[in-house]
Amino acid sequence: MNKQMYLIFGCHSHQPVGNFDHVFAEAYEKAYKPFLDVLERHPGIHVTQHFTGPLLDWFLKHQPRFLQRLRAHVEAGQIEIMGGAYYEPLLCAIPRRDSLEQIKRMNGFCEKHFGQPPRGMWLTERVWEPHMPAIMAQAGIEYTALDDTHFQYGGLRREELFGYYVTEDEGYAVKVFPILKPLRYAIPFHQVHKSIEFLRANASSEGPPCAVIHDDGEKFGVWPETHRSVYEEGWLDEFFQAVTEEKEWLHSVTYREYLEQAGPLGRVYLTCASYEEMMAWALPTDMQRRLKRVEEWVNRDETIGPDAQLFLRGGFWRGFLAKYPEANNMHKKMLYVSHKLQKLEAEKGPSTCEEARLLLHQGQCNCAYWHGVFGGLYLNHLRTAVYEKLIRAETCLDELVDRPQGWTKVEEVDFDADGNDEVILENSQLWLGLSPYDGGGLFELDYKPKAFNLNNVLTRRDELYHDDLREGRVSVGDEGGGDQSIHELIRAKESGLEAYLIYDNYRRISLRDHFVDSDVTETELWANTFEERGDFATAPYAYETGNGEVTLTRAGVVHSSQGGGALVRVSKTIRLAEGDSTFTIRYDLDNIGDESVSTCFGVEFLANLLSGATFDRYYRSDDRDLGNPKLGEHGCHEEINHWALRDDWQQLELGLRFNVPATLFHFPLETVSQSEGGQERIYQGSVVFPVWPLVIDAGQRTSLEVIIELSETGS
């Protein structure tokens, strides 16, 4: 019998919830539509397509004809539509009930619009944990596809990956296909004959063998320079034509078609894994560097490199929640809303919560919860979209609860699952999350009428790819030829980014309390080089809750620049009024030692209004005309009683009123992050840092009050 090979060619196409409409449109014009145009010229090629819920929603609204074209190819047998969890959540990151509902939401869409429910599902980012077969099988899913590395970690050899295996959890079995890395890295970046040679070299008269390439649809037109190489220069036409010409031994099939004629190669149990790059990204940055050094070391030895690589791996996806507290904050907000939904469903019935369920599912879209080669967590508009969906979902649920008009609520709960209780202050307008354990800080400030978290700020952190900037390996503005994957590109979108490699030594949240020298400068505060004279900023505070308020207290040492220290007690009371979008913060600073205190006291306030460079986002003050400096500008102003961050685009203003005039510093937080187009600078929020001179004799008290006002403005 002649040697044969079956080829499953699949595309997974996705745009995040909250991505800009023009990005959807560009991806459609550059990748999704031209791919289908090319496919129609090659009727002998069968492919599997997966589109996520955000894309399907967009197609329904903007390109319904595209869905009709897809259905025609499904009915003709040329395309198989693969399912998934509708809004592309990570199954390991959401409750099981939500996983089942998301998969069933996609199953229903496919049956309605493509005429048949999917037999398989795309697993988001190929993030696998051993409990997933039970979820899939219970949702009616028969198979999925994972990276070949998953199977090699499970003990299989490379030559054993041309087919599929069966795995199970709790007796629920699903079929799992290996996606082959040699094809994933070659297509569409290397010459077509390289992939054909690989397939020919692994063809066999036994089996029948099957090779799977299933990867991002955006590789075919959206990734840098690929529209030119894939369509203008004809790579995809050439590939489909080459497969067609080799049809005597190379058979283009869908998963469904292959399952109808081939049985499993055996049983396998897979460990927690994703693709290799993801597992490295999930590690702390220092551990990433160590892993990279070890990989380089073993790969220098050709006799052990390939084998040793099989036993080298990074962490797994949940590591991002430890690496980035901001990701954990979003994740726990999502769980908080999901649990609230589950409770109300039990009381009111599922049908009464349908709008909240849809919003929750949208807020579970994975992209903003982690970071790798794509911007992900670093893209403030994606984080904003997640919070917007979750805040709106929670507001929907609150409307189902009978409460008196003008209600307030104080809740003590381990919100972020760190073993310590947080305090939530809430009314119909605001949701405040306070962390007694972490400096008594304000980690979340939701303005419900706009479904907007003003404290959605990202801390500046060291990342492995910053080494390329520091060591001069990054090129600026160079265009590639479409022959490199995004994992191989080393470029930056602008020059001088190394000047922004400034890192914070604590998470940036509001209400961190600092004692600083009287000559502190804005540059020192921005660069995190100022001398911290107190031990309050990140220390735990004791707390007491009352009716609509919480008081956080800590006694600590304030050091002087001449040496020695005084014992000071800081008490801050945050009071939230009923039905109001204003809250007050009262500071009582007591000298409980024997020596007088002469220093300066400062408090951090943070806000992210999404842009630091546009003219419709600016600072203003009732005290004087500032000239509307943009939120990305640096500055220092003396004798300030009122300061506001204004957003004319959202028609929203965050105001701060001080009962004692302050010297006010302001500066932006800007990160350098990796994206598919190279390293880039991103505005992550603004820091407003009022400072007051402080002289307190032994046994005396000084008090300050700050009023925070959230208000909507005219256009």
pLDDT tens digits for range 260-300:
999 999 999 999 999 999 999 999 999 999 999 999 998 88
- The predicted pLDDT at position 487 comes to 46
219, 226 Cβ separation under 8 angstroms:
yes
Residues annotated as catalytic are 125, 216
**In terms of C-beta density within 10 A (0-12 exposed, 13-18 middle, 19 or more buried), how is residue 502 classed?**
middle
Instruction: With both helix axes pointing from N to C terminus, report the angle between 325-348 and 380-398 in degrees, rounded to the nearest 10.
Output: 20
When the pLDDT of each residue in the chain is averaged and rounded to a whole number, the result is 95
- The DSSP result for 584-653, as a single string, is EEEEEEEE-SSS-EEEEEEE-EEE--S-SSSTTEEEE-SSS-----BTT--EEEEEEEEEEEEETTTTEE
Residue 419 has pLDDT above 60, yes or no: yes
Output helix, strand, coil percentages for the chain, rounded to the nearest 5: 35, 30, 35
- The predicted pLDDT at position 402 comes to 82
In this structure, which amino acid lies at residue 640?
Answer: I
d(CA 420, CA 435): 9
- The predicted pLDDT at position 259 comes to 97
- The predicted pLDDT at position 715 comes to 56
d(CA 49, CA 214): 9
- The predicted pLDDT at position 484 comes to 47
Lowest-pLDDT choice from 175-189, 392-406, 414-428, 449-463: 392-406
How far is residue 382 from each of residues 50, 217, 225, 318, 386, measured CA to CA in Å? 22, 20, 24, 19, 6
**Share of residues in the chain with pLDDT > 70 (%):** 98
Residue 485 has pLDDT above 60, yes or no: no
Lowest-pLDDT choice from 90-94, 446-450, 485-489, 501-505: 485-489
- Confidence tier at 489 by pLDDT (50, 70, 90): low
Q: What's this model's pTM, rounded to 2 decimal places?
A: 0.95
Residue 482 has pLDDT above 60, yes or no: no
How far is residue 431 from each of residues 420, 449, 644, measured CA to CA in Å? 19, 11, 20
The pair of structure tokens assigned to 41 is 């010229």
How much is the average pLDDT of 563-591?
Answer: 95
Residue 60 has pLDDT above 50, yes or no: yes
**Domains (range + CATH), the chain:** 5-282 (3.20.110.20)
Q: Pick the closest to residue 21 from 55, 69, 52 (CA basis).
A: 55
DSSP 304: T
Place of tokens 């003008």: 406
Place of tokens 């090319």: 38
- Confidence tier at 29 by pLDDT (50, 70, 90): very high
Residue 647: strand pairing partners: 617, 652
Residue 477 has pLDDT above 70, yes or no: no
Phi and psi dihedrals of 642, rounded to 5? -140, 140
Model pLDDT for residues 146-183, shown as the tens digit of each residue: 999 999 999 999 999 999 999 999 999 999 999 999 99
DSSP 233: S
254, 50 Cβ separation under 8 angstroms:
no
